[in-house]
Amino acid sequence: MAGVMVERLPLAEQEKLSPAGLQRFQKTPAPLSEYEMKRLQNIQDNAKFFAALNLLETASALKKKTKTHTPSRGLKRTVPKVQEVEGVRRRSMRLQRVDPSGTPLPEAPVQWDPLSGDDNPMKPAGPLDMTPVDEAEILGFLKVWKEASLDGPAEALKQPLSNLKGYKSRLRSMTLGEEQVAKVTKNRIFSVAIHPSESRTLVAAGDKWGQVGLWNLDDRSSDDGVYVFEPHSRPVGCLHFSPAHPAHLLSVSYDGTLRCGDVSKAVFDEVYRDESASFSSFDFLSNDCSTLIVGHWDADIAVVDRRTPGTSHELLGQVNSKTVRTVHMHPVDLNYFLTAGAGDVSIYDLRRMKPRGMRPVASLSGNTKSVGSAYFSPVTGNRVVTICADDRIRVYDTSSLHAESPPILLSLKHNNNTGRWLTRFRPVWDYKQEDCFVVGSMARPRQIEIFHESGELVHAFTNEDYLGSVCSINALHPTRNLLVGGNSSGRLHVFMD
């Protein structure tokens, strides 16, 4: 019976064994069958194979890589302390309808009735001091802004298109690092602007509650070069540095005011004010930027001359649309402007302005839902790009302004469902490559996309470490390889070479 395990003995034989004999049989291993030996060999081979794959190390590395790092530059988020009250059930801030700072949220986060009262009243009429919200020292920053504005207007705006291969190469050279991400405003970004300087990197953002944040990326001081002002009380829908006078930063707000941040005076001058209206966007009407065209949400169009005293308009007309989200001038023939809103995209002649019932020169048809924006190509104006809630980006041929219905060159399927808590996408053309435009994206990993007018995806800006959110609003520098994307938490992401 030697070599036989106890379990293989009959029960009667096991009972006859003495304790010493039973212990001896338990320690005596049974010989393995050929099948069992093959099975053990397979187990050993599999263990060596999986060990060679380094699966645990690879999984750990992937987990670390996919976790987006949130840089701490710029404004610091303050979380209010929650006081526990015995017997009272806790509710989330979303259900209490307050934001993280404790400010009550409005019923309608984007649209606003200027006649309604609330806890965030309009700013007083007249100029406002250029004093940061946190009362930080800004003399050094104002000096930098002045010096940057001495560069003068960029001369490369009329440059011919480069070949697409060279353009792609320049885009690939633009990267995003930790020092190029900062929280610039407290709330959701509605507009972004880039200073045209060749030597300094200065960007601005307007947010949901009237704040305008400016960020000097060349500043490595403890405050990260971020300064926040509050010239408005409602969303800053449009923001531009003046091409003719870069020391001026103009901003238009839903609160019915248009202001100019003048660094030489250190004030936000009031250019245009209408407390019964709500402004959506504006554009420069003249090459010296002294006159402006301003779009109202209720489809009024105002012409404003900054050289005349007062804060009223020179002309006021109403286009044939329910709303105006964006207004944009033709870059060559300044008699024509483009409006987008509701389901309408139309081109109008400024010389035919009427108080009511202005008829468009051309209507850009094909959009079946609300249109978020429409812009002429920046050099020739031969193209118009629109974005619509029907999940389409469309490009029109506007080389002939007298065509009643410009043809559609591109109808690109694109996920534009940003929802209620993200700012709507607004694709804008690249001054350096007029046939390409940049737009936000809902795709994962998070990215900012550049398309050719043919529909080709030219490049997607991604960074798994520092870009983990949707950048709805984007802007491109007119001459440098520099892209700025703003998200709904007030952060700017700057891709540059």
Sheet harboring 482-486: ordered strands across? Answer: 181-183, 491-496, 482-486, 473-476
Residue corresponding to tokens 């007030």: 490
CB contact burial 376-386 (16+ within 10 A = b; e otherwise): bbbbebbbbbb
**pLDDT one digit per residue (tens) for the chain, 497 residues:** 444 454 555 555 655 555 555 555 555 566 788 888 889 899 988 888 888 887 777 777 766 655 566 666 888 766 555 555 555 566 666 666 666 656 666 544 444 444 444 557 899 999 999 999 988 889 999 999 999 998 755 554 556 677 999 999 999 999 999 999 999 999 999 999 999 999 999 999 999 999 999 999 998 776 689 999 999 999 999 999 999 999 999 999 999 999 999 999 999 999 999 999 999 999 999 999 999 999 999 999 999 999 999 999 999 999 999 999 999 999 999 999 999 999 899 999 999 999 998 999 999 999 999 999 999 999 999 999 999 999 999 999 999 998 889 999 999 999 999 999 999 999 999 999 999 999 999 999 999 999 999 999 999 999 999 999 999 999 999 999 999 999 999 999 999 99
Query: What are residue 356's phi and psi, to 5 degrees?
Result: -145, 150
Sheet harboring 344-349: ordered strands across? Answer: 326-329, 336-341, 344-349, 362-363
What are the DSSP calls for 271-328, one per residue?
EEE-TT--EEEEEE-STTS-EEEEEETTSEEEEEETTSSSS--SEEEEBSSS--SEEE
Q: Do the beta carbons of residue 493 and residue 474 sit within 8 Å?
A: no
Q: Residue 416 and residue 394: Cα distance in Å, rounded?
A: 12
**pLDDT of 113:** 45
Nearest to 214 by CA among 202, 198, 200, 231: 202
**pLDDT of 175:** 98
How crowded is residue 86: how many other Cβ atoms within 10 Å of its Cβ?
4
CATH topology assigned to domain 128-496: Methylamine Dehydrogenase; Chain H (2.130.10)
Nearest to 492 by CA among 174, 200, 210, 204: 204
Q: Residue 107 and residue 102: Cα distance in Å, rounded?
A: 15
**pLDDT of 2:** 46
**pLDDT of 47:** 87
Please tell me what DSSP assigns to residue 180. Answer: G
Q: Residue 66 and residue 69: Cα distance in Å, rounded?
A: 9
The C-alpha torsion from 321 through 326 and 327 to 328, rounded to 10°, is -140
